[in-house]
A and B are shown apart, each in its own frame.
Chain A
Amino acid sequence: MSELLKVEKLSKGFGGRAVLREVGFSVDPGKVYGLLGRNGEGKTTLIRTIMGVIPRDAGVMTFKGRALKFGDADYKKEIGYIPEDAFFYGGMSVGGLLEFNGRFFPKWDARKAADDLERSGLDPAAKVRTLSRGQQLKLAFVAALAARPELLLLDDPTSGLDVPTRRDFLRDVIRELAAGGTAVLFATHLVHELERIVDHLFIIHGGRIVLDETYEKVKSLARRAVLGFDTEPPESPTLDGVLSQRRTGKDLELIVYPWSEAVERTLLALNAARLEIEPLSLEDIFTSFVQET
């Protein structure tokens, strides 16, 4: 299937500080993409740049094969965007805001908006400013989904929500969207939220995409190897893919990505008294990629 969104060599800086450095990736329809990065690593900047909220310094973006310029507006009709803080016009009512929002989107599904609003338990007459943060987020989802987007950009929206809400949201909404052909790019630093839903992972660090791989592959190729020696551990072995290593007494712990038979043979050749190899959690993988060395 053709790419829905493609980003090439995208760079953006603030006041001389580069936040994004030649970032490139692509998004296909019907998949859920996780964009992981520590706070301040440029996730919000990347998403705002895609949404044309802020201009890019360099790079090319295409949406459905069409190159995007800063100031273009039409492509946004097919993109749902939920920022970290879903600020709306506080003076509007919930129903009024949805009506206002609906006028911008040609595929606006008023019935879906009404159904989702009812499911969310929000009062259409309530003023937006009276809603809690969680309620505002629900409203944001109602508004975004009723637009029938082809791409949904989520900028860490669940960070302030309680666990049951987050879980429901993740299970119900995102998978439903992906099943319907909508691509979801979910930026977050709460790694565990992605474990059960993500198809593809991007990890952004130091302004660059340091990991761009399917979740399955990442899970299968990331390993922690602990080598136990009777004497002092040897110097670090010459080995591709070592993300981190740690010495604890006579033990040497290595985080390796991608794991391969060649790596395993190299480690066996070190004649350690003990060799333990185990898969990594997503959180461990993320931590290994973004930790400062």
Chain B
Amino acid sequence: MFKTLVIKEWKEKAPIAVFGLGWMVISLAAFLIFGDDPDLRELMPVTFLIIFFPFIGVMLGAGAFESEFRNGSWAYLLSRPVRKETIWLAKLTALLSIMAGFWLVFIGSMAVVPGLGEVVRGFKWLEFLDPGLDLFLLMLLSSVLYFSVAFSLSILSERQLSLVFGSFLLSFSVQALLSYLASQAEDQGLLSGVYRFLWLDVYFLALVLSSLAFLGASLITFRKVDFSQSRKKNLSLAKYAILFLILAWILAVAWPVFRPGPEEGLSSQVEVVGSMAFFSTSRGLYRYDIVRDDLKKVAKWRPNSYFGVSFVIAGGQVLYDACGWNLQNSPELRIMNTDGSGKRLLVGGGPDGFPLWPGYSNFLLSPDGKMVVYLSDQNDETVPGPRTAKRTVSIGADGTGLKKLPPLDPALAGTGGDIWIRAWHEPSNSLLLMVRDQGSPWSLLTYNLTTGAQARLFETPRAGSFLISPGGDKVLIVHQPEGGGPADVTLLDIASSEITPVMKVENPGESIWGPVTRKVWNRKGDKVAFLAEQARGVFTPAVYMLKERRVIMPGNCRVKEMPYFGPMLKWASEDAKLMLVSPEDRSLKILDPGLAVERSVPIPASIGEFFLFCATDDTVLMGEISEDHRGSIWRLDLKTEKWKRIW
């Protein structure tokens, strides 16, 4: 019966199909004939797209039920032994298939008619709205909306002209309203925080859902309502259309919250505590037991396309920032045990909230894991990124004892620059803060949590010019004099403020990383390794032994290609050996205590942009992060030299 009804509809609408095909043929012929004219070349197909498909959609939709009401055959149709849903669906199927036919003919023409596809795909007029705005998709969805509105309205009246006009008016109004709301979301409107990046997707989704809303209203009205009573018909359609439109728009707006999200992406942060490696992705925090080769997801969070989640680990606790779906308003600071148990919200929004832009870690756990400090900024600035802390706040890891600490001295920290909490110096119960006022060099400050005393340790123009030891008691500093010259590498003792010269590094070139890069402390904090530039673009590993106060740098192990960022040196084998990534021959070199290459392990080709994440006694973890923020983590067994992908 369904097929019978569909065929009947096809036969009835054959004149519209012929008319539409004729229009298409004439338009294509005009394009072929006048396509050489640069003005007409784009104008003709684009105008055709914008006018033809909505028009044909309305013509088809408006004719769905109108003729039956006009000639009175609706009572005959409804008295046939066929369910109303079947009648409705048959009409929809038949008419939509004709619409699809027009689109297929047009798509086929784009493939066949020389130049047509390029013109449609290369359409630029709407780029001022969004570079990603696809005219073809826009008109496809618009025509479906125009069709759906006309299809729905056709159950109301037998006056075709009124239906066509009314359908155009209503469709255009709905689309205009959606466009306005979308532009508000894209710009500075109410929804801009959520939809800045997604407004076009939401807009397209809203078009589709609006079409479904009208069709849904039409179906319910057709099924339930007494068609002999116009008022009831009108009221029913209006009621359900409004209700479903509201639902459709709510769904469209809510979609970014509940969408599946991008494929799980890997962050570049890996922390190792004992034999456990922790790394975060766009969907959660993983704990990898290196000894047991056991991976466990210890925390889950909502996928976020744009920012990773930062975390710190100390005293058996993991402190991490979690942002909800609203990127601007709901970052939170959460804490849990390293096995994933005891998850709790530590700080949410509010006056003492944690409103920093997600992905910019600015919090710290005390070494015993019992105290948390974070920077709170209630400026409500909308510009993402680190910003001036108005307050340094401490709170117990159990969520009690929230305390606003004395403000930073403007003379030391400035008033409008950046502040980063870098380390916790346990002996003096001080924080090491990296601060910079606007236009000034970076300073490393101590901030005594007990007394509030603050002091500047040193200034440096480059944020990456120093590295604090694991215990927070030493700082390796690289001084680069302005205007060139050798760089001084020194060691600062926090407690005594004593500065020990380490070495001078000639500055042969203008390396973007500076003459000393990829600094890494060992776990005990008695050795620090780095790459020093020996000749222009040629780096060699060096190690400073704190106890012996000497540098080991044989110079025969060289690195000529440097990845843009990411760790290249890691300590292994109880800090006895150094691992070095050598990009030029895609190998991992294991250096003996004298920094001679003990052996070299090839890195598999399947690992693309690689980072050396961590190395334990017998195991190396290496990560790969591709440009689309996906990635993988690989494990290398140093004994067998076998690689295995663990994530």
- Quick one: which of B72, B223, B229, B231 contacts A87, CB cutoff 8 A? B72
CB of A54 to closest CB in B, whole Å: 5
- Quick one: which of A14, A55, A76 contacts B80, CB cutoff 8 A? A76
Query: Quick check: is A162 within 8 A (CB to CB) of the other chain?
Result: no
Q: Is the CB of B11 within 8 A of A85?
A: no
Q: Which of B72-115 contact A (CB under 8 A)?
A: 72-73, 75-76, 78-84, 86
Q: Which of B532-576 contact A (CB under 8 A)?
A: none
Q: Which of B245-263 contact A (CB under 8 A)?
A: none
Q: Which of A98-148 contact B (CB under 8 A)?
A: 100-101, 103-105
Scoring A residues 82 to 99 as 1 if CB is less than 8 Å from chain B, else 0, what string do you get? 010111111100000000
Q: Which of A71, A73, A75 has the most CB of B within 10 A?
A: A73
Q: Which of B482-532 contact A (CB under 8 A)?
A: none
Q: Is the CB of B78 within 8 A of A52?
A: yes
Q: Is the CB of B4 within 8 A of A100?
A: yes
A52-B78, A100-B4 in contact; A71/B228 too (CB < 8 A)? Answer: no
Chain B residues with CB below 8 A from A70, complex form: 224
Q: Interface residues of A: mostly helix, strand, loop or mixed? A: loop
Q: Is the CB of B227 within 8 A of A54?
A: yes
- Cα A225 to Cα B79 with chains together (Å): 46
Q: Which of A22-60 contact B (CB under 8 A)?
A: 48, 51-55
CB of B34 to closest CB in A, whole Å: 38
Bin chain A's interface residue count. Answer: 20 to 34
Chain A residues with CB below 8 A from B76, complex form: 83, 86-88
CB of B253 to closest CB in A, whole Å: 34
Chain B residues with CB below 8 A from A54, complex form: 226-228
Question: By the criterion of a CB under 8 Å from any partner CB, how many residues of chain B are at the interface?
Answer: 26
Q: Which of B564-592 contact A (CB under 8 A)?
A: none
Closest to B223 in A: A71
Query: Quick check: is A77 within 8 A (CB to CB) of the other chain?
Result: yes
- Quick one: which of A15, A71, A81 contacts B83, CB cutoff 8 A? A71
Query: Quick check: is B12 within 8 A (CB to CB) of the other chain?
Result: yes
Interface contact tally, CB-CB below 8 A: 69
Query: Quick check: is A292 within 8 A (CB to CB) of the other chain?
Result: no
Chain B residues with CB below 8 A from A276, complex form: none
Closest to A55 in B: B226
- Quick one: which of B73, B79, B84 contacts A51, CB cutoff 8 A? B79
Q: Is the CB of B82 within 8 A of A104?
A: yes
Closest to A106 in B: B81
Closest to A85 in B: B72
- Cα A103 to Cα B80 with chains together (Å): 10
Query: Quick check: is A74 within 8 A (CB to CB) of the other chain?
Result: yes
- Cα A55 to Cα B542 with chains together (Å): 90
CB of A153 to closest CB in B, whole Å: 9
Chain A residues with CB below 8 A from B227, complex form: 53-54
Q: Which of B205-245 contact A (CB under 8 A)?
A: 223-229, 231
Q: Is the CB of A48 within 8 A of B75?
A: yes
Chain B residues with CB below 8 A from A15, complex form: 229, 231
A14-B228, A55-B226 in contact; A89/B81 too (CB < 8 A)? Answer: no
- Cα A71 to Cα B225 with chains together (Å): 11
Sample of 21 A–B contacts (CB below 8 Å): A14-B229, A48-B75, A48-B79, A52-B78, A53-B79, A53-B227, A71-B83, A73-B80, A75-B81, A76-B79, A76-B81, A87-B73, A87-B76, A88-B73, A89-B12, A89-B73, A91-B11, A100-B8, A103-B1, A103-B4, A104-B82
Q: Which 6 interchain pairs have the tightest Cβ spacing?
A: A76-B81, A87-B72, A77-B81, A87-B73, A51-B79, A103-B4
Chain A residues within 8 Å of B, Cβ to Cβ: 14-15, 48, 51-55, 70-71, 73-77, 81, 83, 85-91, 100-101, 103-105
Q: Told that A54-B227, A89-B12 touch, could you supply 17 new A-B pairs with CB distance under 8 A?
A: A15-B229, A48-B75, A52-B78, A52-B79, A53-B79, A53-B227, A55-B225, A73-B83, A74-B81, A75-B81, A87-B72, A89-B73, A91-B12, A103-B1, A104-B81, A104-B82, A105-B81
